[in-house]
Amino acid sequence: MKNIILTAMLLLLATTMNAMEKKLIRISTDRTDLVLQVAENGRLYQSYLGEKLLHVSDLEALSWDVYAATDGSVSQRGWEVYSGSGNEDFFEPAVAITHNDGNPSTWLYYVSSTQQLVPGGMQTDITLRDDQYPVEVILHYVAYAKENVIKTWSEIRHQEKKPIQLSTYASTMLYFCRNAYYLTEFSGDWAKEAQMSSQQLQPGKKILDTKLGSRAAMHMQPFFMVGLDQPASERQGEVLMGTLGWTGNFRTTFEVDNVGNLRIIPAINPYASVYSLQPNDAFTTPEFIFTLSTEGAGQGSRNLHEWARRYQLKDGMEDRMTLLNNWENTYFNFDQAKLEDLMKEAKELGVDLFLLDDGWFGNKHPRNDDHAGLGDWEVNHQKLPGGIQALTKAAKEAGVKFGIWIEPEMVNPKSELFERHPDWAIHYPNRKTYYYRNQLVLDLSNPEVQDYVYGVVDKLLTENPEIAYFKWDCNSPITNIYSPYLKEQQGQLYIDHVRGVYNVMRRVKENHPDIPMMLCSGGGGRCDYEALKYFTEFWCSDNTDPVERLYIQWGFSHFFPTKAMCAHVTSWNKNASVKFRTDVASMCKLGFDIGLKEMSADELNYCRQAVTNWKRLKPAILEGTQYRLISPYESNHMAVNYVSASQDKAVLFAYDIHPRYQEKLVPVKLQGLDADKMYKVEEINLMPGTKSHLKEHGKIFSGDYLMKIGLNIFGTRSMQSRVVELTVQP
């Protein structure tokens, strides 16, 4: 007993000394400072988040009690970095715990902190501890200096005798004191993803959240922008851009308090999820990733693109493949011969890969529509008697690679898997089951089910080493939220399920590291930065109408680099020309999902040329820097340009959506070029037999001219597009 008291006293002494010694913790990129301060009371407060401070001496002047009442008096309340429940702060906390004795309060005191270099950045780990309960929180931050991105997450642990109950568990908390805050959200629905809208935040709370279980998005994307003092704009002004890496229910709270300060709390959504945390286990929150740009959203996006390619996205610095998908070509109705024809068409188009979509599996319950077969990952012998081997062989003969679609986290009640293991599906034991797309979600909180799902992928890849690509789909949110496996711990299902999904994805990546994978979720429902550690790219939307895609791609481009965003040329909106459809898909990772027989000879030749052009321009489109020039939200047009790292090559994509009669058109100024270099301007992606009408076509201009005067790129006819290649002249 004496020893325990002595250890406790020494610990307290060490804590106090550490706190006294380390009053300031500076988390910095080249452009941003986040300064945390240990106050006299031993607790940790945010004293600054903003543009990088030039003088270290200024840090001393910062104060932890930033909060001031309207009469100017200063309160005891500060901006506590990980504010607990039941303290003197009357606003939303980061963490809420019910302890073994029923006490619902948590007060966290600074213990220690360390900093170490990690790939691309500096990691800061800060330990906080409750003074009355053996509960510890470790705050983690990684600051990526060059990219100006900070990633932060937290870990909660305890040594109470029995489990503690967590009812709030934020990734972090950030505070701002400004005159006004303008939130831009990216909401929508199936086939209407990432639609942007903005509003000024008023006192009280605004919450962005979803409760879809198996994916973050559909109705609301897990990313946002906050314009500080003014609405977020593209080229100027201070804007915070943040996103949570969590493939499940999320909740980001924006709360403007009584004195007009804003706190932002990104978190897993605690909806139906009071989490019972065992002693000594760690509850690790998702990563929240943010950048604070002082030069508008355009720069913020470029920060995130660069960071993602270097440090987060699977194979972020590697190449990407163009492809032909059969989904909209055939839906479920295909056989070996039809697919072989499509493989030849893929070759004719000049793309790298043929991608076989849904419908290739299930025998007792064949997958001939979306009512049956999910779970039975054996080739349907009637459709494909030669199995996958015959397909990979045919692809090889056609001269393209072979990729395949899977949806391994799901099960149709009409499947052998469900007949064998009804208890593996998430569904109520005592209510009528309701379905989304006639299927159920497998219970990935169950390790046995994780093994099964991993086994599906592993078996396919081991038996068919020629599979060169996966499209991994997830078409249903979690319905009937009940896990036969978790029994009385149902509060853990939403969270442990997502962790189980990651466990599977991690194993796939570890054991099959070289396979590129597209993340898909009935369109763009899954595109968070945690899942993207395991996936090279994602499907933005099932809506491939090029006009709608301009808005959808514009939205996603705020957070994701081009090489992560898949766009396919399809038959949606036949009023739009094949050229317009292809030019819209070409501003992302290009693919096709259209029968070549639908095209005229000229259209096919056009597409072949567009693929060749796109491949040549990859250093700018995929690896370069993106500049959003003209917003479809603010005009009847859209334009974006990409510049290669060497600034020797650039591409401009310009689209007329539905211009008005006699609309005034002004030249579009490019960005990111070298002002002193001379660029040849050439319109490419022209339909065979047509000439460029671009005034500047074939001429040479300085980067300065192109950025200050610009190109007359827009026209007045609906759904027209122009692609311009700019090449530095020796």
Interface ranges with ligand DGJ (CB under 6 A): 327, 357-358, 405, 473, 475, 520, 522-523, 539, 542
* Both structure tokens of 721: 């597009």
Shortest Cβ distance from residue 373 to ligand DGJ (Å)? 11
Query: Under 8 Å CB-to-CB from 582, ≥6 apart: which residues?
Result: 569, 590, 606, 607, 610, 685
Shortest Cβ distance from residue 471 to ligand DGJ (Å)? 6
Query: Of 238 and 542, which has the nearer Cβ to ligand DGJ?
Result: 542
Query: Of 366 and 523, which has the nearer Cβ to ligand DGJ?
Result: 523
Shortest Cβ distance from residue 367 to ligand DGJ (Å)? 9
Shortest Cβ distance from residue 530 to ligand DGJ (Å)? 20
Query: Of 233 and 438, which has the nearer Cβ to ligand DGJ?
Result: 438
Report the distance separating Cα 175 and Cα 313, nearest Å.
28
Half-sphere exposure (CA, 13 Å, Cβ side) for 194? 29
| Phi, psi angle pair for 555, to nearest 5° | -60, -55
Query: Under 8 Å CB-to-CB from 55, ≥6 apart: which residues?
Result: none
Query: Of 475 and 644, which has the nearer Cβ to ligand DGJ?
Result: 475
Place of tokens 């479920």: 332
Shortest Cβ distance from residue 407 to ligand DGJ (Å)? 7
The gap from C-alpha 261 to its chain's centroid, in whole angstroms, comes to 28
Shortest Cβ distance from residue 248 to ligand DGJ (Å)? 19
Place of tokens 């149902």: 490
CA torsion, ordered 57, 59, 61, 66, to nearest 10 deg: 170
CA torsion, ordered 271, 99, 175, 45, to nearest 10 deg: -170
Which of 225, 217, 224, 222 lies closest to 189 in space, CA to CA? 217
Query: Of 520 and 673, which has the nearer Cβ to ligand DGJ?
Result: 520
**R_g (Cα) of the chain, nearest Å:** 27
* Both structure tokens of 151: 């990633």
Report the distance separating Cα 661 and Cα 663, nearest Å.
5
* Both structure tokens of 476: 């249903």
Query: Of 369 and 451, which has the nearer Cβ to ligand DGJ?
Result: 369
Written as one letter, the residue type at 373 is: G
| Phi, psi angle pair for 349, to nearest 5° | -70, -30
The gap from C-alpha 501 to its chain's centroid, in whole angstroms, comes to 16
Shortest Cβ distance from residue 113 to ligand DGJ (Å)? 44
Query: Of 96 and 356, which has the nearer Cβ to ligand DGJ?
Result: 356
| 57, burial (CB in 10 Å: exposed 0-12, middle 13-18, buried 19+) | exposed
Query: Of 322 and 475, which has the nearer Cβ to ligand DGJ?
Result: 475
Shortest Cβ distance from residue 358 to ligand DGJ (Å)? 4
Q: How many CB atoms lie within 10 A of CB 4?
A: 8
Query: Of 77 and 549, which has the nearer Cβ to ligand DGJ?
Result: 549
What's the sign of the alpha-carbon dihedral 14, 15, 19, 22?
Answer: positive
Shortest Cβ distance from residue 473 to ligand DGJ (Å)? 5
Query: Of 285 and 570, which has the nearer Cβ to ligand DGJ?
Result: 570
One DSSP character per residue, 384-405 reads -TTHHHHHHHHHHHHT-EEEEE
- Residue 255 β-bridge partners: 205, 263
Query: Of 92 and 357, which has the nearer Cβ to ligand DGJ?
Result: 357
CA distances from 684 to 285, 687, 692 (A): 47, 9, 8
Report the distance separating Cα 242 and Cα 233, nearest Å.
15
Report the distance separating Cα 210 and Cα 221, nearest Å.
8
Residues 685 and 728 sit within 8 Å (Cβ to Cβ): no
Query: Of 443 and 473, which has the nearer Cβ to ligand DGJ?
Result: 473
Which of 436, 425, 412, 414 lies closest to 522 in space, CA to CA? 436
Query: Of 213 and 242, which has the nearer Cβ to ligand DGJ?
Result: 213
Shortest Cβ distance from residue 539 to ligand DGJ (Å)? 6
Shortest Cβ distance from residue 523 to ligand DGJ (Å)? 5
Name the helix (H) or strand (E) containing 325. Answer: strand 323-325
Backbone torsion region of residue 194, taken as left when φ is above 0, otherwise alpha when ψ lies between -120 and 50, otherwise beta: left
Strands 275-277 and 164-169, bridge-based pairing: antiparallel
Query: Of 166 and 406, which has the nearer Cβ to ligand DGJ?
Result: 406
CA distances from 647 to 239, 329, 725, 728 (A): 26, 39, 12, 8
Shortest Cβ distance from residue 710 to ligand DGJ (Å)? 37
Half-sphere exposure (CA, 13 Å, Cβ side) for 334? 26
Shortest Cβ distance from residue 157 to ligand DGJ (Å)? 39
User: Which residue of this chain has its Cβ atom nearest to ligand DGJ in the complex?
Assistant: 358
* Both structure tokens of 702: 């300085």
Shortest Cβ distance from residue 357 to ligand DGJ (Å)? 5
Query: Of 328 and 496, which has the nearer Cβ to ligand DGJ?
Result: 328
Shortest Cβ distance from residue 339 to ligand DGJ (Å)? 15
Query: Of 285 and 475, which has the nearer Cβ to ligand DGJ?
Result: 475
Shortest Cβ distance from residue 535 to ligand DGJ (Å)? 14
Query: Of 357 and 545, which has the nearer Cβ to ligand DGJ?
Result: 357
What's the sign of the alpha-carbon dihedral 587, 592, 598, 599?
Answer: positive
| 40, burial (CB in 10 Å: exposed 0-12, middle 13-18, buried 19+) | exposed
| Phi, psi angle pair for 165, to nearest 5° | -105, 120
Report the distance separating Cα 672 and Cα 643, nearest Å.
6
Shortest Cβ distance from residue 590 to ligand DGJ (Å)? 16
Alpha helices in 512-623 (DSSP H): 546-556, 578-585, 601-616, 618-621
Shortest Cβ distance from residue 613 to ligand DGJ (Å)? 25
Query: Of 437 and 509, which has the nearer Cβ to ligand DGJ?
Result: 437
